Structure 1
């Protein structure tokens, strides 16, 4: 068969395979025409080409093959009379009974071709969806393994830092009693307090994850917590917060990992704008209905250079090298929000990169 020879030895491209299939169908119909025409019981074997078309070709090319196959069957009614040595059968072939039989054979072929085409299209679509789901599962498993490694390293680091911080606390108490500059004492105590607060927040978040404990936060409380985190992480950046007052009482159920997950996205937006010397980020919170369920939508817009199509597909799903690191913050945020029942996506706009976060709302009056 020309199709198999083309597929195996020449190319896997769609249009040469479609052409080879059409030639196979023409040759098959000529063979049938020389051996009894439409009354040949082996004419149903031509349905095999439709199956092959849907296995090897995109739907558009496969549909062309289906139409060529049907036209070939219709041509079988008058084709034998045009072939040398077949004219003697023409009178019998065009009798009323044989014409009805021929029309029935053609109708049966068309119905069978339609059933096979629809079945193969459905099965192929299900197959591609299963392959895509399996690929996504593999990517999630790899991402989770990477995050587990990072989490273990972070836990070890926190454990190792706890003892030196306690020692620094004792030294700070002694420092406060010494006769040195007051501003130095205050600055040292302030920075030490930030480190201790961060460690305590990490312990609380880890305990929430371990026990699967969730808390109810209003949108107003979420904004307050995020502002505090950003004031510590990026005090030099300007973040414009926008949220209608009537939505600030809506409740989100989540653990404490929600705050660093969203804060990481805002920090990434600040870093993106920093490369364009724009340290202004807009964060807009709103409530929308998604499938009749209220959702908190967070739009984080930076003034950076935007993301390419390849970056938009990979960001948050896998660790990829970038100018500022491995993109670990986006991966952790993506995994955390997904675990909390939310979603996060990125898209380029004329102004920069828009990060869209969706979170389910537990209660809203």
Structure 2
């Protein structure tokens, strides 16, 4: 079976590297025994290598079944690698062995992959292993200038371990942080591109509807002069006028958003507009309002014209979701906490599925709950205004949408009022 390192997980990569290390150890031991004819305790060395091979096989089988807690598994494996390497070094010269610097490899792997605490433990264990090997060296080896040489190697190892654990770990964290930042920037850029595309499409639709509405208004005016029952045409004319006003409001809102025009919005005025919208468009729906009395507090939001439509989109989706279960009922509540306005909108429909939780806010989707273009744009509007939209399912059934918006500090409200 051929392995592609690029497709292996972190644990499997370490297991593969350990397998290569075991093969190299066997080759080196055979080379030393056959060609260099060193007098080494071969039985303990081969026993340690065999034990390391069994441990590697056990790790492979265990990690194949248990894929959770990879950090802890990697930490245990690196500790075992230091232990095996220390035992092999002990039976092959101890601190005099030129391969003693291999103790830096587990430290380097831990610096890139493990948290700070586990990295510290790995580094400390490697330093204690090297120190123990130096301490257990026979006295006849530590004679003359060799004692200073071995102590110098030990100090050099301590310095190298400190550099690897500190510098490499910081570089790895910096690289990961940069990758996360770039990923978030790319995601934000893709979302902005989708929003721009939707905005262009809506602007084109608005432009295309303006001319037919104007023609319909002229026709209704002419028909009202000729018909004997003008009441129906009068109602039709009212609806045409309403469509024209909505298109005009949409043009003004688009222009304000384009020019980044923001203003202070009193939250009581905002709640009043939401009530008027629900009473006008859904007179048969029982919207339960739980709104605190904030008239005396004078709380304001800094927003543009997109805030109210974004909230109304969420409310409309909740009403439609409840209507699918033949329930004309929606709950709308708010509270002020930590200088933020928290809105909660609950419907009594089927609730959200796992697919909705994965896709909402990132891609427009079509579903029975109405999580399409409107909800996608609402989420983008809240994020642009410094807010946040959170989805969950209510324990008693139905979907629960939480909206958090930052309130304007009183000092800034006074300064803007002075200006």
TM normalised by structure 1 equals 0.77
Per-residue deviation at 1:263?
Answer: 0.7
The DSSP-based 3-state class of the residue aligned with 2:294 is helix
Distance 2:18 2:371 in 1: 41
The DSSP-based 3-state class of the residue aligned with 1:299 is strand
Change (3 A) 1:261 1:3: closer
Per-residue deviation at 1:177?
Answer: 3.2
Per-residue deviation at 1:276?
Answer: 3.6
Change (3 A) 1:224 1:240: same
The DSSP-based 3-state class of the residue aligned with 1:307 is coil
Change (3 A) 1:311 1:57: farther
Give the corresponding residue for 2:290.
Answer: 242
Contact 2:108 2:164 in 1 (8 A): yes
The DSSP-based 3-state class of the residue aligned with 1:246 is coil
Per-residue deviation at 1:159?
Answer: 0.6
Change (3 A) 1:105 1:236: farther
1:38 aligns with 2:86: no
1:344 aligns with 2:401: no
Distance 1:134 1:360 in 2: 26
Per-residue deviation at 1:141?
Answer: 1.6
Per-residue deviation at 1:260?
Answer: 0.8
Give the corresponding residue for 1:193.
Answer: 241
Give the corresponding residue for 1:150.
Answer: 198
1:107-137 deviation line (CA, Å, top 9, x unaligned): 8756764664455444444433332332222
Change (3 A) 1:27 1:90: farther
1:312 aligns with 2:351: no
Q: How many residues align?
A: 348
Give the corresponding residue for 1:85.
Answer: none
Give the corresponding residue for 1:47.
Answer: 104
Change (3 A) 1:18 1:342: closer
Give the corresponding residue for 2:16.
Answer: 5
The DSSP-based 3-state class of the residue aligned with 1:355 is strand
Per-residue deviation at 1:195?
Answer: 1.0
1:131-179 deviation line (CA, Å, top 9, x unaligned): 2332222222222212211111111111111011111222232343344
Give the corresponding residue for 1:86.
Answer: none
- After superposition, the CA RMSD in angstroms is 3.8
Per-residue deviation at 1:320?
Answer: 3.4
Per-residue deviation at 1:319?
Answer: 2.4
List aligned pairs for 1:16-35, cutoff 5 A: 21-22=78-79, 24-30=81-87, 32-34=89-91
Give the corresponding residue for 2:181.
Answer: 133
Contact 1:139 1:318 in 2 (8 A): no
1:268-310 deviation line (CA, Å, top 9, x unaligned): 2223333443332222233222xxxx22222222223333566
1:262 aligns with 2:321: no
The structure, 1 or 2, with the larger RCO (C-alpha pairs under 8 Å, 6+ apart) is 1
Distance 2:393 2:377 in 1: 21
1:196-239 deviation line (CA, Å, top 9, x unaligned): 22111101101101222223221122123223444455444332
Give the corresponding residue for 1:274.
Answer: 323
The DSSP-based 3-state class of the residue aligned with 2:332 is strand
Give the corresponding residue for 2:32.
Answer: none
Distance 1:118 1:129 in 2: 16
In structure 2, the gaps of 5 or more residues are 1-12, 21-59, 414-419
The DSSP-based 3-state class of the residue aligned with 1:304 is coil
Contact 2:321 2:349 in 1 (8 A): yes
In structure 1, the gaps of 5 or more residues are 81-88
Contact 2:360 2:371 in 1 (8 A): no
Contact 1:281 1:302 in 2 (8 A): yes
Give the corresponding residue for 1:362.
Answer: 408
